[in-house]
Structure 1
Amino acid sequence: MKLKNPLLFLFSVVIFAGCLNPVQNLYPEDPELRSVPVYIVSHGWHAGIAIESEYVLDQIPEHSELPDTKFLKFGWGDARYYSDPDASFWVMMRAALLPSKSAIHIVGFDIPVEMYFSGSKVVEIKITEEGAAELGEFIDQTIKKDKDENPVYYTEGLYRNSVFLESGRTYILPRTSNKWTAKALRKTGYPISPFYAFTSGNVIKQATKDGVVIQ
């Protein structure tokens, strides 16, 4: 088969391949230089990212509903579908087919990640403090702010100590919750390609390249 634009194809290959490489100044090859644990948590349909709150709180704006806990887990998705555990099939289809408002789900907890999410797949990855700060910046940029730069509350969260905040990003396929999680992990310098991360299974698969499955 003859390619219509071989230069464009080669450029695409380089770009996508480059995304698989670690960002050296954030994610050094020597594991001794990476001391901050971050966790990819898969609940089946979608995956989120968790980290000890001390590493990201300086980047995240204060909010009265933000959990004051040792760990914080973040996920992003269609606001209406994500926040309703009993959402109908039509709400799911609307999220899949139409551009819609999105929200970020923030869950707080104080016990180990694998204990709190005992029924989920969990992969642990070690990153640097600089990488954690970049993750915090990415989360901050996801949160919608009002005119006074305060986070905009959406609704209560799915867990006892959790909250949904509005996001300024539009939810539309293929911009899925899993791609958001992959982009969040990529911000730490980890060698993951968000381009391929349509499913939570792919996010987990890519995370295990240099991470440890703890559950």
Structure 2
Amino acid sequence: MLVIACQAGGNARAADKEPPLRPGAPSKTIFVASNGWHSAIFVPRNELTPDSLPEITAFPEARYLGFGWGDAEFFPARDPGFTTLLSAAFLPTPAVLHVTGLRVHPEAAYPKDEVIALKISHAGFRNLIAYLDGTFARADRRPGKPVAPGLDPHSYFYRAKGEFHLFNTCNSWTARGLAAAGVPIDADDIVRAEGLMASLRPLSANSFK
């Protein structure tokens, strides 16, 4: 059931891929966290503006914002039924985006998870934020309204673009965002969390478990 909860994928707007960071070039640091089945991308909130990502206004005290996909019914459910599980696994289903505001470093927030730090170029960071922004299903540039409380303190679920199915997972979505940011991974080959993190470990600025 845990694997199904992270299923995501979609038609989120993907920016053009940015070339990998050149040695010595100015960079920004982002983080990818995984608990072994689900993955999420964390970025410093102070690097964002409401123009680039309107939903940041819901997290005024956060130091980092985390983004992860899940099935619109299964992911937010505290006790999902078997029918919901089957639907999430085998049928294309609507998406939600889970957004978490952290007041501490991701490593401190998730001490049992693997957290990998990645350095990307300034242009790559802009591409990543465009990718994240493009996942929100909103009609205009006003902040989207949460559809459910999140799974963590200071977190919410938002309606998202795209559909889920068994072969297009949250880890695939994470990989596509990182590839757009210039991280040299083959997003087409990523389905499981272990495959994603194995691809990122050799590229890590720092790796925490």
TM-score normalised by the shorter chain: which range applies?
0.7 to 0.9
CA shift, 1:138, in A, is 0.5
Matched, 1:86 2:100: no
Counterpart residue number, 2:130: 137
Specify which structure has the bigger relative contact order, considering alpha-carbon pairs within 8 angstroms and separated by 6 or more residues.
2
Counterpart residue number, 2:52: 59
Counterpart residue number, 1:192: 185
Query: In the alignment, residue 191 of structure 1 is paired with which amino acid?
Result: P
- Cα RMSD after superposing both structures: 2.0
CA shift, 1:168, in A, is 1.8
Q: Given the alignment, which residue of 177, 200, 205 partners 1:207?
A: 200
User: Is the 1:66–1:163 contact (alpha carbons within 8 Å) kept by the matching residues of 2?
Assistant: no
Give the TM-score taking structure 1 as reference length: 0.81
Counterpart residue number, 2:33: 41
Counterpart residue number, 1:170: 163
User: Is the 2:54–2:141 contact (alpha carbons within 8 Å) kept by the matching residues of 1?
Assistant: no
Give the TM-score taking structure 2 as reference length: 0.83
Instruction: State the secondary structure of the residue aligned to 2:202.
Output: coil
Q: Which moved more, 1:204-213 or 1:60-69?
A: 60-69
Q: Which moved more, 1:155-164 or 1:139-148?
A: 139-148
CA shift, 1:34, in A, is 4.3
Aligned length: 191
1-structure distance, mates of 2:143, 2:104: 29
User: Any stretches of 5+ residues in structure 2 without a counterpart?
Assistant: 1-16
1-structure distance, mates of 2:78, 2:185: 29
Percentage of pairs with the same residue: 25
| Pair 52,185 (structure 1): closer, same or farther in 2 beyond 3 Å | same
Query: In the alignment, residue 157 of structure 1 is paired with which amino acid?
Result: G
Larger Rg over CA atoms: 1
2-structure distance, mates of 1:207, 1:148: 33
| Pair 67,144 (structure 1): closer, same or farther in 2 beyond 3 Å | farther
Counterpart residue number, 2:10: none
2-structure distance, mates of 1:120, 1:199: 15
CA shift, 1:63, in A, is 6.6
Instruction: State the secondary structure of the residue aligned to 2:174.
Output: helix
CA shift, 1:210, in A, is 1.0
CA shift, 1:43, in A, is 1.7
* Superposed CA offset, 1:62-121 (max 9, x none): 476446411001001211111124323432221010111100000011211101011111
| Pair 89,213 (structure 1): closer, same or farther in 2 beyond 3 Å | farther
2-structure distance, mates of 1:151, 1:36: 26
Q: Given the alignment, which residue of 124, 144, 153 partners 1:160?
A: 153
Instruction: State the secondary structure of the residue aligned to 2:62.
Output: coil
